[in-house]
């Protein structure tokens, strides 16, 4: 488990710079998704996201580790 935790931390630190180009409120959820896709356990993912981002691994009020639709599916360029 300690090896997986270190691997997840390393991956999270590498991905963080790219993720910070996105909206700040999306950094933790996107980092969570990256780690989950790589096969890390929910406990490891939550711990690493808290350590690296300083936030919980999911948006407030949501079920942990749930999949939610990503808006209307329109282009991201709609942000003004």
Taking a C-beta distance cutoff of 8 angstroms, is the pair 58, 45 a contact? no
pLDDT per position as a tens digit, 3-19: 999 999 999 999 988 88
State residue 47's pLDDT score: 95
- Per-residue pLDDT, averaged over 12-36, amounts to 90
State residue 28's pLDDT score: 92
Give Cα 35 distance to the centre of its chain: 7
How far is CA 69 from each of CA 13, 26, 30, 66, 73, rounded to the nearest angstrom? Answer: 26, 14, 13, 10, 9
pLDDT per position as a tens digit, 44-78: 999 999 999 886 544 443 334 434 444 444 444 44
């Amino acid at each position: 488990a300690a090896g997986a935790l270190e691997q997840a931390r390393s991956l999270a630190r590498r991905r963080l710079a790219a993720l910070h180009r996105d909206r700040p409120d999306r950094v933790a959820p996107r980092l969570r998704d990256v780690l989950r896709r790589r096969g890390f356990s929910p406990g490891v993912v939550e711990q690493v996201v808290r350590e690296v981002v300083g936030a919980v691994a999911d948006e407030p009020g949501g079920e942990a580790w749930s999949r939610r639709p990503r808006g209307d599916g329109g282009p991201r360029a709609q942000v003004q």
